[in-house]
A = this chain, B = another copy of it.
Amino acid sequence: MEKIVIVGAGLVGSLQAIIMAKKGFKVEVFERRQDIRSANISAGRSINLALSNRGWKALELAGIKEEVEEEAIPMYARKIHDEKGDLTDQPYGLEGEAIFSVSRGGLNQLLIREADKFENVNFHFEMKCEDLDLETNELLFTDKDGKELKVKADRIIATDGAFSAVRARMQKTDRFNYQQMYLEHGYKELTIPPAEDGGFRIEKNFLHIWPRGSYMLIALPNADGSFTCTLFFPFEGKYSFESLKTKEDMLSFFKDVFPDAIEHMPTLETDYFENPTSSLVTVRCSPWNHEDKLIMMGDASHAIVPFYGQGMNSGFEDCSVFNELFEKHNGDWSKVIPEFSEKRKPDADAIADLALHNFIEMRDKVADPSFLLRKKIEKRMLEEHPNEWMPLYSQVTFSHIPYSQALAAGKKQAKIMDEIMCRADIEDKWDSQEIRDQIIALLKAQ
């Protein structure tokens, strides 16, 4: 039985462990941190996760979809809060379509529990990957006392995240392309606690956004009635983490720009000053593999910013795509590993670009009535002409169309919608068959 070493027991690593265990491999999972099942789930720096179709598909493959569904909270629309506290809804898709708020820590615990049920899976926590011999496929780990352990693997699957130790080793190999690019914005976790009766202080089944042009606040619901809020804010500049340093400045700023949020944030001061400010990185690299011996997946090979809600979903989709290739090639690693690297890389690049772009959409464009009208027209197209027009957001979120194809289709759609929005009568006629016929005509003319 071949031995597979998985480096990193995060979301993707533990899901991949289940998938490989089901195929009968001996799976050894090494994780730098302590066992999240017995640890306090690290608070203060987890953006809540929005699970959507690509993620669900992989969870189904691993046989744990139902269990996750029990905890997940559907969000059917963006709830946009303007500066006066007025609200606008922008549905994500068709009636009943939703993305699902889940807790990263809770989901990770569940995945490890499920993987650990397999006799052929072993977890090793507090084991830091220090080095890797690419010739022999031997990994060097140190435990929490600094004791060294060498582990030889038939195959290595590296799922050790955006700051991957395995990738750092790969970076030293000749002709390894690599890029890490940080945003000039950071983020900070804040909280809206449950109401006194245990209910939700703001509407439950929405992803709340306070878009403010160059920055924004968002809130995602948790099962306990609270919301995890995230402030995305410049590191430097007039309004920035650097400039808001005193309690007075910070509170006065929040009162001005997030008036209907601050009333629900009794712990704001503590949260703001005690939670860390974290940075946002996009990582791209190639190749993702070393021969047929090592493959990198998830954030290790393609970390993205969180604004399309696709970080976890793309990582989970790695697992299902990998599984499909494994089935297609009857487990021939010499085909599976290089093909996965080559096939999946353009899709990872596409969702990285889309995620960067969506930051502008979320923090700025959703506050623009013309943008919301455009989205309404696109939604009507989807309802009336589902075979001809699936909006980009739906392709990314509610379909399994490869990200790179979605991006290409989205660019074509954007051109058409630019033209449509130039019509002088668009506000009157937006929901007319005439407009939809013109869109179809433009689509056919492309």
Contact = CB atoms under 8 A, between A and B. Distances in A.
Contacts of A175: 182, 235, 279
Interface string A80-93: 00000000000000
Interface in A148-195: 171, 174-182
A276 to B, nearest CB: 11
A396 to B, nearest CB: 26
B178 A179 contact: yes
Number of copies: 2
A179 B182 contact: no
Interface in A119-171: 171
A32 to B, nearest CB: 15
A182 B177 CA distance: 6
B177 A180 contact: yes
Q: Tell which of A171, A175, A176, A181 has the most Cβ of chain B within 10 Å.
A: A175
B171 A177 contact: no
Interface size range on A against B: 10 to 19
Nearest to A282: B177
B179 A179 contact: yes
Nearest to A235: B175
A209 B204 CA distance: 69
Contacts of A171: 180
A349 to B, nearest CB: 13
B174 A181 contact: no
A227 to B, nearest CB: 27
A229 to B, nearest CB: 22
Contact of A181 (B177, B181, B235): B177
Contacts of A279: 174-175
Contacts of A235: 175
Contacts of A176: 180, 182
Contacts of A182: 174-177
Interface in A276-309: 279
Nearest to A284: B179
Contacts of A178: 178-180
Nearest to A172: B163
A339 to B, nearest CB: 17
Contacts of A181: 177, 179
Contacts of A179: 178-181
A303 to B, nearest CB: 13
A235 B174 CA distance: 12
A178 B284 CA distance: 11
A109 B109 CA distance: 60
A175 B187 CA distance: 13
* 8 smallest beta-carbon distances between A and B, as pairs: A179-B179, A175-B182, A178-B180, A175-B279, A177-B181, A174-B279, A177-B182, A177-B180
7 contacts: A171-B180, A174-B279, A175-B235, A175-B279, A177-B181, A178-B180, A179-B180
